[in-house]
Amino acid sequence: MQQTMRWFGPNDAIALKDIRQCGVTGIVTALHEIPVGDIWTIDAIIARQEIVRNAGMEWTVIESLPVHEDIKKANGNYLEYIENYKISLKNVAKCGIKVVTYNFMPILDWVRTNHAFENPDGSKALLFNQVAFNYFDLFLLKRPNVENDYSDEDKQIASAYGKTLSEAEKELLFKNVLLGLPGSKVNFTAEQILALLDNYKDINNDTLRNNLIHFLKEVAPVAEALGVKLAIHPDDPPFPVMGLPRIVCTEADLKMIFEAVPINANGLCYCTGSLGADPNNDLEKIIADYGDRIHFLHLRNVARDSKDVFRESEHLHGDNPIESIMEKLIVLMQKRNVSLPMRPDHGFLHSIEEGKEQYPGYSLVGRLKGLAELRGLEMGIMYKIKQG
């Protein structure tokens, strides 16, 4: 695998020289400063490439070239934004970058209720607690008609949970759920999120899926002609939040997306954490069924403590069969004769970095630990395969 790490650009407190010392050759990044929907110019792409190259690495994967909300809703200036996306893809291809990751999650890229769950050793992890989220949704955000989305039992459990929280804990929960977009340190306000949610009140799963397929029918042939691979990131978490539609959660979702636009450029960012948060997803079967569509790897693990709680676990120890997944990915790469880019997705916050500025889940030491473990696992499995 091509070993990479995510870097959030010049404003990232973690320096490229520190990432290079982790032993990676590739950088996963984006032009976060460019407003969503605007064209990525060749000059802007080259300028960022030069920064990465001067640090001794190569910008190999874009994460993400974001999709404008108008495209997801198929309203407003969505046709213009689709054309802009095509131009950006052409400019990316001219600069030699071949993998473009994106997602089709409405409004929020990912959601956790706790950004600092304490592990037994004192390190901190990201966690999602459905009960805590329900309390946020029902009693803190209070979105219109929210009561229709929950049973009486769920409401009672959420209410009781809220009574155990201090005002400071309620404020932190609100802040955790409404973390801004990747590369941003700004949280959504209640007013902002409620206004954005109102824009989706008439959009269900079928509508959003149709809008995704329309988008892909427009941009995927362009990417195919350019030799660029599009890699859609699964929804995180892989179930509805705040009444928003979710359409990239399950094996059935992937099947519909790939069959609707059956060209190789319409591919997957295979994220074991996002897909693995749903115990009904068979991660090994997804490799078997859609291996030719896998263009980028996010490798991490999750532990489902109960039906209501999942947390990010050590990369090699969780509910996902990471050893078997790694072996099947190695066999897949040998079959396809490719070296897929991989990054250790997320990582624990260790005490040595606590208090330093970083994005949740993206501490350097935590990711380095995950990378080292995955690197060793890959080498061990490759040795085993060679020995027969």
Positions marked catalytic: 233, 271, 298, 345-346, 362
Neighbouring residues of 130: CB distance < 8 A, sequence distance ≥ 6: 307, 308, 309
What CA–CA distance (Å, rounded) separates 317 from 104? 29
What CA–CA distance (Å, rounded) separates 253 from 259? 10
* CB 213, CB 260: distance < 8 Å: yes
* CB 291, CB 250: distance < 8 Å: no
Neighbouring residues of 185: CB distance < 8 A, sequence distance ≥ 6: 359
* CB 100, CB 92: distance < 8 Å: yes
User: Is the sign of the CA dihedral 309, 313, 318, 320 positive or negative?
Assistant: positive
Burial (CB < 10 A; 0-12, 13-18, 19+), residue 370, is buried
Q: Which residue has the tokens 């606590």?
A: 354
